[in-house]
Amino acid sequence: MAVREIVIYPDERLKEHCKEVPVLSEEVKKIVQDLVDTMDASSHSVGIAAPQIGELYRVIAIDASKNKKCENHHGKLVLINPEVVKWEGIMQFREGCMSVPDYTGNVNRARKVMVQYQDENFNDKVIETEDFEAVVLQHEIDHLDGILFVDRIISKRTDLFRRKKYR
């Protein structure tokens, strides 16, 4: 449908708690398609959440296969009303975000997660994953609760980094 402009921090929409999706309406289908189109248009994006395109619904799209280091993944996924229902282990991970383009930072995340959700056809699903894909899911689900990775930085003094600019 459309590649949408990314909402950039400190836009207040990024701090909002998103609404649950009760039914798969035409509006939600359009948001899903716009999320996928916007993620695909960005060669470096492995995930995107609805508030990042200005839509305050509990919808995310991920594709961990876009990261060369990610060996175990489930490919491109759309998750509606995702919820982490089980997690295990802790790992430190360096994260970045299209909505916070100038910084990266070290964040503690669960190493393994189980997430229940509805897919793009509104069928109930459960996914279990670990490592990079688990981090991507947690990062994007945080967006739905108005939480950015900079809110989870281990130490603002030592674990927040200005992103390098490449020519």
Distance in angstroms between the alpha carbons of the first and the last residue of the chain: 31
Which of the following is catalytic: 95, 120, 133, 140? 140
Task: Determine, yes or no, domain membership for 106.
Answer: yes
Q: Is residue 167 one of the residues assigned to a domain?
A: no
Q: Does residue 6 sit within a domain?
A: no
Domain annotation covers residue 47: yes
Tally of domains within the chain: 1
Write out the residue range of the structural domain in which residue 103 sits. 12-162
The mean-pLDDT minimum among 22-36, 37-51, 66-80, 88-102 falls in 66-80
**pTM (2 decimals)?**
0.95
Residue 5 lies in a domain: no
Residue 82 in domain: yes
Listed in sequence order, the residues at least 6 apart from 158 whose beta carbon sits closer than 8 Å to its beta carbon are: none
In a domain? residue 116: yes
In a domain, 123, yes or no: yes
CATH number at residue 47: 3.90.45.10
Q: Is 128 a catalytic residue?
A: no
Token readout for 134 is 């688990």
List, for residues 95-139, the tens digit of each pLDDT value. 999 999 999 999 999 999 999 999 999 999 999 999 999 999 999
